[in-house]
Chains A and B, each alone.
Chain A
């Protein structure tokens, strides 16, 4: 549905995005995660059509969004960080305005607003001024207004912005319901609370995509994907022993606290269990294995590793 090809955006000499490419399938919920200034908002700004100057190519349903900007903007709804509503308006007025600027008018608009107010559970608040609403109701108003325009993709920047912990839990359930209805793209600087919502995760770090396209950080975590081996030999000997084991994605050596001892971090492809193969390979090559264990990585750890925040990782 949405294909982002090699998109880059520079602000002067600073690269906000560098060669970002990914694909989003219809109906799939995608989470774009990254620390502050990772380029999440810039990416959403570009997809939504707010930012027009960038290099690379974005195709929405096979249409270049630069060439048919107005058509694509009608199909892609965008909720910026903090929802950005008009506080002086009532909920219904805001929804009517949002529908109006997205060319949904008349009876169709009124019906859509009533339906979405009921869906979001804020029908009773429809005549309330937005300034009187709490953060959760504001978030729901923004989503209800966006859904009233029947978008093919809904982009939400920081959906849990300003919410209390108890409100986050409630909003999570609502986002899951929204994800059933449209293709949802969420950007956040924390992955907490999105495990049930996102089917695909993209991690950005300093404008670069550091996770693979199509990977889900939440399903990858806590698998048998990473093994730590403590060996008492030189790294080249171990490398020669393990290099022909099928299913190994990456081998990394780090010095251990003891002298002449190394820690080997072995990543297997698709979380495959390769402990036996490692044991036999080590025995054949006479590599003394002092210890072998899985590294249980939580999604948060994996996220921090990908974004380079976990410098002294616990291994």
Chain B
């Protein structure tokens, strides 16, 4: 598994696009942080980090789009799946490669709480819970993105569908209070990822949300394996 993770991460960190997006992210974080910190009398760093966490999530489709789509497009999936590694090992390795890269970008944003800590003080527990939430939600989105990538052999299509999926998920969350039907409200509540994340945002550690998000990861990983299995059988 290690060799595939290494290869994938190397691929991400050799891509100029990643650095451009990461620079944009840091620039935005810096701008928002300085805005909140210097222009308000009462500084609430949480609002900044909630914004940042959403941007971080939007960053994931860029990482996941090539996971399997590029392998299929280049035909290198034949190399991987005819080697001695099992398919589930490849799928998990791809997931961890994306997740570790995502973690790296999350870690970059820790610069701002550190500056705050030097200047005044910070509620570390609150921040820690927020980051746990960001990582768990990120994990679920990574698994979703990898699943979409496994369905397509075009990078841009995979990116577009993952983005649209995320937007739809977001919309579910936004529309939730306006839905009249109790049945639909319950149904939407079940599939809403961001509701689970909001518990971590408000500084609460919820086991049920954690298990839910981890289950989403597992579900999409299994779906990815299934979609790859079907792809291999249909390929001629």
Contact = CB atoms under 8 A, between A and B. Distances in A.
A53 B81 contact: no
Contact of A101 (B78, B80, B233, B236): B80
Interface in A94-122: 96-98, 100-103
B75 A82 contact: yes
**DSSP class of B's interface residues: helix, strand, loop or mixed?**
helix
A103 B232 contact: no
A78 B84 contact: no
A134 to B, nearest CB: 18
B14 A51 contact: no
A49 B83 CA distance: 8
B233 A88 contact: no
Contacts of B74: 84
Nearest to B80: A101
Given A86-B7, A97-B7, A100-B3, A48 B82 contact: yes
B36 to A, nearest CB: 40
B234 A70 contact: no
A59 interface: no
Which of B7, B78, B83 has the largest count of A CB atoms less than 10 A from its CB?
B83
Contact of A80 (B79, B229, B234, B236): B79
A103 B85 CA distance: 8
B210 interface: no
B86 A88 contact: no
A211 B82 CA distance: 28
Contacts of A97: 3, 7
B142 to A, nearest CB: 22
Given A82-B75, A98-B79, A51 B233 contact: yes
A196 B11 CA distance: 41
Given A51-B232, A97-B7, A84 B79 contact: yes
Contacts of A101: 3-4, 79-80, 83-85
B76 interface: yes
Nearest to A79: B79
B76 A50 contact: no
Interface in B58-95: 74-76, 78-86
Contact of B84 (A50, A85, A96, A103): A103
Contacts of B236: 11, 16, 42
Contact of A50 (B11, B81, B234): B81
A74 B83 CA distance: 6
Contacts of B2: 100
Interface in B184-236: 229, 232-236
Interface in A141-165: none
Nearest to A100: B3
Contacts of B11: 88
Given A50-B232, A100-B3, A84 B76 contact: yes
A73 B84 contact: yes
B82 A78 contact: yes
B4 A84 contact: no
Given A101-B80, A101-B83, A84 B75 contact: yes
Contacts of B233: 51-53
5 contacts: A51-B232, A74-B84, A84-B75, A84-B76, A101-B83
Q: What 9 pairs across the A-B complex have the smallest Cβ distances?
A: A100-B3, A74-B84, A48-B82, A101-B83, A80-B78, A78-B82, A50-B82, A84-B75, A102-B84
